[in-house]
Amino acid sequence: MKKYICLVFAVIILLSATACNQKGEFKSDVTCEEILNSILAATECPQEDKIYVKSKGNLDTFGLSLWADGLFQECEELSLLSDYAIFTSAGTTTYEVAVLRANGIEAVPKLNDLIERRKETLSLGDKGMYDPQFNIRMSNSKQETVGEFVIFIVTDDNDAALKAIDQFKE
């Protein structure tokens, strides 16, 4: 009898551990723009500097290449984006938030590479001398992958940013 009870408990524990392993996905109808706006509100981001959003269609391959690599050339990753919302600096702040949605789970690693290139581009240009807080923000920056979404956050309160995006999870 004791053995059967132990076996039942072991199965329950095993099933519980399996359930714990699932990461929350975003709801299917959430947009990158909604996620971006919630992050900017939660982190009390300074007024708009420059925002690229799919609803305005204001990012082309050259714009994406300038953002990611600081080079004026075609950026093939644009074709991998089904949705995007990027808040970046036009000169009054060094905050940065990017919410990218891949057009398939297989494209997610390439978007993560894109963010890595953006980090490298951001670290050039002495932005730490423009804003002394920039180096600290960059060292605390967060990069999250949630399903098809890749999110990059450079703010003064990245924990608040991560909490803000929880509301969009299933």
List, in order, residues 6 or more apart from 118 with CB less than 8 Å away: 67, 68, 96, 98, 152
**From the CA atom positions of the chain, what is the Rg in Å?**
19
**121 in contact with another protein (CB under 8 A):** yes
Q: How far is the CB of 132 from another protein (least distance, A)?
A: 4
Among 4-12, 33-41, 62-70, 148-156, the segment contacting another protein (CB under 8 A): 62-70
Tell me which of 1, 17, 19, 90 binds another protein, using CB under 8 A.
90
**66 in contact with another protein (CB under 8 A):** yes
**Cα separation, 58 vs 70, whole angstroms:** 17
Nearer to another protein, 107 or 161 (CB): 161
Vertex 150 angle, CA 149 and 153, to 5°? 130
**129 in contact with another protein (CB under 8 A):** yes
**Cα separation, 161 vs 43, whole angstroms:** 6
Could you tell me the strand order of the sheet in which 81-88 lies? 50-53, 81-88, 96-102, 149-154, 142-146
**CA distance between the termini of the chain:** 40
Nearer to another protein, 28 or 139 (CB): 139
**57 in contact with another protein (CB under 8 A):** no
**72 in contact with another protein (CB under 8 A):** yes
Q: Within positions 2 to 41, which residues make up the interface with another protein, using CB under 8 A?
A: none
**Residues forming the site for another protein (CB under 8 A):** 50, 62-63, 66, 69-72, 88-92, 121, 124-130, 132-136, 139
